[in-house]
Every structure is written in C-alpha cells, then in structure tokens.
Chain A
C-alpha cells in the first residue's frame, strides 16, 4: 500500500508506460492502412521517447535542464515532421485520389 501511494515518485511506472507507448506506436505503424493513421502512430512513438527522456531526467540525471531541453527539441522536430508529412499526404491524395498505403505503389503517375 505504501509503495502504491508512492508510485508517482518511482521511475518504474514511467519507464513501463514509455515502453508501452513505443510498442503500441510500432503496432499502429505496421497495422494502419492509411498515411494519416501511420502518422498518428508515429506521433505516439515520439511521445514514448519524450516520456522516457523526462523520466530518466527526473530520477537519474545530474542536470535536470538537459532532458527538458532535449524534449523541447523533440517537440519542435515533431511539429516540423507533421507539417511536411501532412503536405505530402495532401499532395498524394491529389495525385492518387486515395491515402490508402496499399494503393500507393506507383512511383510515377
């Protein structure tokens, strides 16, 4: 009971949750059949990395600013990635009339 009440002050639940997010992000990346669905799974992968960084930063790092700044950079890169990926999705939809990943098999159309 005592450890259960102190769960938020232990690294294990955060690390387990980060592993869960990584696994489920990979699962979604493989199983999703549209580009937008794959993009959402990719965002969950980013979230897993960020949570892992912050958990290690909170419990083990000597300088706590480093992990937070790294996660800020991850967020910036994720935003840039989403902008590019969505514009590609729009362009693909315009050319193919579909964003199903199975139908995007021609290099040129």
Chain B
C-alpha cells in the first residue's frame, strides 16, 4: 500500500464502544420482536394487537438481516408490515374493534388461563432446551453462496414448479376471497 492512502480512522484505532454497536442492535431487534409478540396476543383492542404484530415483524426483519438474509428482511417488511397488517386493519375497520369482555366465572377463567400458560410454557421450555443444549452439527468453514442472485436462479430452475404452484395458490386465494366476501351482500 502506498503511503499516500489514508486508512479510515476507525481501522487504525477502533472508535470507543464501536464493538458494542452490533450486539446492541441485535438485542434491540430481539427485544422488539418479543415485545411486539406480547402486545399482539395480549392487547384488549384488536387494533393494538395489529400494531403489535407490525412491531414484531419489524424486529423479525432485523433478525433476518442478522441471519445473512437481507432480501428476506425486505420481503418481511413489504409483505407483513406493508400488506398483511394493513389488510387486517381494514378488516378491523369493517368488523368489531374490541375484544369482548370475558364470560364465565372467575375461577373457571383462571383455570383456563393457567392451563394455557402451562401448555405454552411446556412447549417453549422443551423447544428452547433443545435449541440451547441440543447437539447441532457444525459447519467447518462458511464458503456458501449467500447472494440474492442464487435465490433467483434456484427459484426459476430447481423450485420452478413450487414457484408456479404458489402463484396459482395466490390467484385462487384472491378469487376465493372476492367470491366469499361478495356473496352475502344484500344490495348486490
């Protein structure tokens, strides 16, 4: 390297605290996902639940970026935050905005909630234990091709049948949605 080329200052002496930026971002996206999911299932107003889902998907998009899949992070934002959440908001506007008050006696409701928490907690505990302590294989050296180009080529060669099938499913779903939503209209 010639002496006239100046290295960026950050490469010569790391900026103070710069090693913490990436882990802090990771923790931020992690916490965003957890908080969004909690709001999505626990909010009393459905519109808040939808917003929780959107926040959860924002966090997930960040985590997808950390998992080496920036294309999927973009798709997550486009499809979930941009399309799915907005569609659900339309449905909330056309139907009811609130979760109804719980019915039944208090002990019975508490029993139901406790049973659900136990089942969900057992599923979480066993799967998390498998994830942390399971004997996963390790890759020796990462020489894999992570480019978006590879995804596109594989979609149009190896997975072309599934690709076409998905597009057919989407078409049928849209037609079916139109047919179902239209059929009950009184003034049609």
Contacts and interface: CB of A to CB of B under 8 A. Distances in A.
Interface of A: 4-8, 11-28, 30-34, 36-37, 39-41, 43-44, 47, 50-51, 54-55, 57-60, 62-66, 68-69, 71-73, 75-84, 86-91, 93-95, 98-100, 102
Contacts, number: 237
A91 B42 CA distance: 26
Chain B interface residue bracket vs A:
35 or more
Nearest to B103: A102
Contacts of B121: 23
Contacts of A27: 41, 116-117, 120
Contacts of B38: 24
B34 to A, nearest CB: 7
B14 interface: no
A73 B180 contact: no
B132 A63 contact: no
B187 to A, nearest CB: 12
B151 A8 contact: no
Contacts of A78: 79-80, 84
Contacts of B177: 83-84, 86-87
B9 interface: no
Given A8-B23, A19-B127, A64-B68, 18 more contacts: A13-B30, A14-B67, A15-B127, A16-B132, A17-B34, A21-B33, A21-B37, A22-B123, A23-B121, A31-B113, A39-B88, A40-B41, A40-B50, A60-B136, A75-B75, A75-B79, A84-B173, A86-B91
B145 A64 contact: yes
Interface string B91-119: 11011100110110000000011001101
8 shortest A-B CB distances, which residue pairs?
A15-B131, A28-B41, A19-B127, A80-B173, A23-B124, A87-B177, A8-B26, A87-B181
Contacts of B123: 19, 22-23, 26
23 contacts: A11-B136, A16-B131, A21-B33, A33-B99, A33-B100, A41-B41, A43-B80, A47-B56, A47-B60, A47-B80, A62-B139, A62-B144, A71-B69, A72-B75, A76-B170, A79-B83, A79-B170, A82-B88, A83-B177, A84-B180, A87-B180, A100-B100, A102-B103
